[in-house]
């Protein structure tokens, strides 16, 4: 070990006990390796300023934290909030300029709609950023809460629809690849007036509210493959919002392990591809599967992409099915968790 490393190691003996407890989280081998590779001119000034400076040098080796995405300022002063049962939106957003009697709750189906009116668009923007920054924290007062911009017209439309029987039903959990034709094949005894399918969810509209009630009562015992189907009553407001977010992503399975992003783009020819996500996921049993997601700039091109199902990439037949950005996020989170687990196991060895 060189003289500089010996000087830095001796600095550890002079720091306070809490710092020694923090340093204990690092293995001896990693500490020695970092000390040897870290320039003295970079670390020594931090040690003189604070005993915690050497700890900060380790975080710098891993790079800076990714900056959080800031929401663009809103032009409306109304937010549509979906929150689990027990979340007090009035109290959670009380410091963001909610107008008096500005919280409107509509019980519709499995989760209520909550419209919140603010004094200004700036207050609504601050509240939206607050919700999105805290919603993924399980210990937060607004855990698992989502919010999107809305308008006063949305409040009036929902008030009108929730006051009369609805002719819309929703299937909240279906395969991502399901289409309208698949839905009609599973439920041949029902006539749908209109259908909105995508993102693992389907909305069906009937001619009358009585037909929708019969569909919920009788079709609840059906199955898709080996999985039972869940069906609930909904409202046209839900269906309209779902139809405004068309599917623009497909999932490819069975492609060769050595396939590259260029191979995937060449497979779809002239279609406008916005993003390609490729991930190797380990499943129970130790086997690794290769998953690929392709997002198109134009949602209308998804039908052309799905028509390439059962064609070849290289020497292998591939499956091309509808997917969703939600499934892409889940796959990336699962991949990230596996990488973190591998890294922790390597450091503990």
Q: pLDDT digit string (tens) for 114-141?
A: 999 999 999 999 999 999 999 888 888 8
Q: Per-residue b/e over 236-247, b at no fewer than 16 CB within 10 Å?
A: bbbbeebeeeeb
Residue 219 · residue 202 · CB < 8 Å: no
pLDDT(234) > 50: yes
| Eight-class DSSP state of 338 | H
Separation of alpha carbons 312 and 301, rounded Å = 19
In 187-311, alpha helices (H) = 209-218, 236-243, 261-267, 302-306
Beta bridge partners of 166: none
What integer pLDDT is reported at residue 16 of this predicted model? Answer: 41
Q: What percent of the chain has pLDDT over 90?
A: 34
Task: Select from 331, 257, 338 the least CA-distant residue to 294.
Answer: 331
Helix axes 152-161, 236-243, angle to 10 degrees: 130
338 vs 305: which has the higher pLDDT: 305
Work out the mean pLDDT of the chain and round it to a whole number.
80
55 vs 74: which has the higher pLDDT: 74
- State the average pLDDT over residues 296-306: 92
What integer pLDDT is reported at residue 304 of this predicted model? Answer: 93
What integer pLDDT is reported at residue 206 of this predicted model? Answer: 95
Q: Which fold has domain 78-161?
A: Alpha-Beta Plaits (3.30.70)
Residue 187 · residue 219 · CB < 8 Å: yes
pLDDT(87) > 50: yes
- State the average pLDDT over residues 184-197: 91
What integer pLDDT is reported at residue 25 of this predicted model? Answer: 43
Element (H or E) spanning 280, and its range? strand 273-282
- State the average pLDDT over residues 155-180: 87
pLDDT(324) > 70: yes
What integer pLDDT is reported at residue 60 of this predicted model? Answer: 39
Q: How confident is the model at residue 4 (pLDDT cuts 50, 70, 90)?
A: low
Rounded-to-5 percentages of helix, strand, coil across the chain: 40, 20, 35
Residue 215 · residue 166 · CB < 8 Å: no
What integer pLDDT is reported at residue 96 of this predicted model? Answer: 93
Helix (H, G, I), strand (E, B) or coil at 161: helix
Q: How confident is the model at residue 194 (pLDDT cuts 50, 70, 90)?
A: very high
Q: Where are the domains of the chain?
A: 3-61, 78-161, 168-243, 249-348
Q: Which fold has domain 249-348?
A: Alpha-Beta Plaits (3.30.70)
What integer pLDDT is reported at residue 152 of this predicted model? Answer: 85
39 vs 207: which has the higher pLDDT: 207
Extended strands (E) in 139-211? 146-150, 168-171, 194-198, 201-205
> Which of 196-200, 286-290, 298-302 shows the lowest mean pLDDT across its residues?
286-290
Residue 246 · residue 299 · CB < 8 Å: yes
CATH number of 168-243: 3.30.70.330
* Alpha-carbon Rg for the chain in angstroms: 27
């Amino acid at each position: 070990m060189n003289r500089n490393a010996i000087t830095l190691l001796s600095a550890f003996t002079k720091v306070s006990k809490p710092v020694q407890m923090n340093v204990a989280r690092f293995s001896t081998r990693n500490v020695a390796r970092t000390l040897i590779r870290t320039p003295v001119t970079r670390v020594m000034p931090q040690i003189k300023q604070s005993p915690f400076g050497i700890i900060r040098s380790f975080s710098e080796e891993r790079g800076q934290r990714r900056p959080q995405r800031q929401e663009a300022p809103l032009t409306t002063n109304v937010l549509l909030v979906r929150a689990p049962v027990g979340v007090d939106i009035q109290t959670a957003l009380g410091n963001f300029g909610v107008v008096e009697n500005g919280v409107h709750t509509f019980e519709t189906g499995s989760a209520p709609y909550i419209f919140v009116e603010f004094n200004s668009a700036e207050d609504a923007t601050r509240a939206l950023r607050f919700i999105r920054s805290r919603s993924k924290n399980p210990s937060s007062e607004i855990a698992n809460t989502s919010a999107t911009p809305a308008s006063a017209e949305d409040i009036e439309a929902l008030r009108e629809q929730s006051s009369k029987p609805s002719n819309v039903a929703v299937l909240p959990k279906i395969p991502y690849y399901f289409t309208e034709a698949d839905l009609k094949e599973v439920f041949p005894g029902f006539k749908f007036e209109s259908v909105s399918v995508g993102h693992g969810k389907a909305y069906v509209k009937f001619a009358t509210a009585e037909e929708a009630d019969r569909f919920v009562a009788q079709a609840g015992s059906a199955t898709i493959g080996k999985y039972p189907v869940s069906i609930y009553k909904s409202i046209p407001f839900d269906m309209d919002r779902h139809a405004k977010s068309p599917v623009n992503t497909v999932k490819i399975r069975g492609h060769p392990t050595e396939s590259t992003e260029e191979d995937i783009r060449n497979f779809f020819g002239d279609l406008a591809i916005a993003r390609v996500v490729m991930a190797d996921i380990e499943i129970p049993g130790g086997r690794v599967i290769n998953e690929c997601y392709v997002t198109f700039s134009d949602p209308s091109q998804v039908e052309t992409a799905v028509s390439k199902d059962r064609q070849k990439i290289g020497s292998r037949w591939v499956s091309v099915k509808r997917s969703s950005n939600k499934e892409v996020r889940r796959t990336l989170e699962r991949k990230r968790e596996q990488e973190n687990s591998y890294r922790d196991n390597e450091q503990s060895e």
